[in-house]
Amino acid sequence: MRYPVLILQLILFFCACPTVSEACTSVIISGSRTSDGRPMMWKHRDTDSLDNKLRFFSGELYDFTGLVNSGSESREVWTGVNTAGFAIMNTASYNLQKTEAPFRDREGYLMFRALEICGGTEDFEHYLDTCSRPLGVEAEFGVIDACGGAAYYEVDNYGWVKYDVNDTLTAPRGYMVVTNFSFSGRPEDRKGYERYLTASAIFAEMTGGGGYYDITPYDIMDGLSRSLRHEVLGTDYIAGYRALEETGYFNGMVVDQDFIPRFSTSSSTVIKGVAPGDSPFGTVIYTLLGYPFTGVTVPIPLCDRDIIPSYMKNDSPGGHSAMCDISLALKHLYVFTREGSNGSHYMDISGIAGHGDSLSVTDMCRRTEEDIAEIFDGLCNARAEGSITDDEFYTQYKIVSETFFNIFISNITPFL
């Protein structure tokens, strides 16, 4: 993959930048409340490992597509879905563990194994019950499956607690928002509570007063992963950017603290499952690699073979995703531009909010997503109508998906 010179220089620069600890945000929406009966699972990932990519794995019982750290060849996955339609993600918890274990941070290994052997929520619960203790985890695991299952599991070294998103007592609005604290854990040690408030407020507005939700994965990506709303401060820096600019006291710089997207964001994924009774191969993995304001969401349909677009992966050991590399480079070019020891704490949002009537780099990412969605949705409609077979669908996807990257490059070229 050939990069423009400026992008290549920035890729080398950000690889040397400091990173911060994990702080993910997530939601599961029950299929019982979506307009098409299909559940959705969103994970906005924040981590020390900023370089992410997708990989296809041949598992013991099921094959699967998973989000992994670039450069890592370990058996770890940070969100994924297998050929049974079983999908899993995690967010770190910081208020659950009551006893120390001789090892920790095994969440990625647990999810890798679950994707290999679990066909649904019942299999996952059996897996949790039969694993040797201590597990070496402290996390919330979100799960959806092809039979309508949708749940969060708060898991520590020795036990687990389930929250069924289909249960109206647990999730009266048909969805649950989870960040970095466990509801059954110590209330005084809740981390990510500010992001929980913000994500909850946004989702309450997106879903309205009730009924069925007509929310797309792009709505979630744009409404949450690209939100600079701060519920504690009572402000939204993107929606209120023009008013702030007009005061004459705002230079576009914002302190990066407790937003959903942040310096440590490495990816955002929405897995859209299937309605009960439908083939699990209707599942789609919508993935944005890199920083949301400078990255593009690409849909990847579930398949029993590797159809991941080349720019979303790299088959060589330690290889990076081209899409992720460019997104992270643009992040430093347009957002985290301040030099110095605390440069990663300050965002220049003028480059993503735009000036006057001019379009921003984020607007170009949205335009790319609109072009991609039109092509992909047309292909999915042809498959649903029976005008193309499943094999033809996957063959055509392999061809058109490679053009998505070219559309992205064409749209952002004026900003390089």
Give the Cβ contact number of residue 223 at 10 Å: 18
What range defines the domain where residue 299 resides? 5-415
Facing residues of 69 across strands? 52
Instruction: In whole angstroms, give the CA distance from residue 108 to residue 269.
Output: 16
Residue 6: what pLDDT?
52
Residue 72 to residues 47, 52, 54, 369: CA-CA distances in angstroms?
14, 10, 12, 29
**CATH code at position 199:** 3.60.60.10
Residues 279, 273: Cα–Cα separation, whole Å: 10
Give the Cα separation of 64 and 332 in Å (integer): 33
3-state secondary structure of 277: coil
pTM score, two decimals? 0.94
Beta strands 229-230 and 175-178 are unpaired
Length, in residues, of the chain: 416
Beta pairing partners, 53: 68
Residue 103 is predicted with a pLDDT of 80
Rounded Cα gap, residues 109 and 332, in angstroms: 31
Contacts of 210 (CB under 8 A, 6+ apart): 173
Residue from 291, 321, 289, 298 nearest 368 by CA? 298
Render the burial of 349-365: b for 16+ CB within 10 Å, e for the rest.
Answer: bbbbbbeeeeebbbebb
Q: Residue 95: what residue type?
A: N
- C-alpha span between 33 and 77 (Å, rounded): 28
Running DSSP on this structure, what letter comes out for residue 387?
Answer: S
Which parts of the chain register pLDDT below 70? Answer: 1-21, 98-99, 209, 354-357
* Cβ neighbours around 160 below 10 Å, total: 17
The pLDDT tens digits for 290-300 are: 999 999 999 99
Count of domains observed in the chain = 1
Question: Closest Cα partner for 376 from 277, 285, 268?
Answer: 285
